[in-house]
Amino acid sequence: MQTIEQTDHHNTVVHAHDLTVALENVEPGVVVVHASGELDIRSADALRQCLDTAVRNATCLVVDLTEVTFLATAGLTCLIELSEAAARAKLPWALATDVRPVLRALEVTGCLDRMTVRPTRDAATKAVLPA
């Protein structure tokens, strides 16, 4: 089951099973999608929905997985789809995580070498903002 909460016109929170995803417009054009909990087959659609919205509305995107405790194949698929969509849209994006299970999943699949990954949300934001 998924519930969507519109906190204001800049922020949305989606709850799906053991995952919470927040879509936050931190400044004009800069969107942060923050996920916390377990990202698996039951919750991946909540992340995908927020990422699709972010790709359509952002000029820079940060995906914050610093509070994700489990990353399954469905979650990896979301990130790969995001990478492809961002490339088509010429959207700079970065992933924020220092969580070992998430990093390990990215490493084993080869995604770590193909994505901009930083240990914190601030570092990821700096990586995508124009110089």
Delineate the domains of the chain, giving CATH numbers in brackets. 2-128 (3.30.750.24)
- In sequence order, the 6+-apart residues with CB closer than 8 A to the CB of 34 are 21, 22, 24, 64, 67, 121
- 6-57 pLDDT, tens digit each: 555 566 788 777 899 999 988 888 899 999 999 999 999 999 999 999 999 8
**CA-wise closest residue to 129 among 96, 92, 97, 82:** 92
- pTM (predicted TM-score): 0.90
Per DSSP bridges, beta strands 19-27 and 93-96 are unpaired
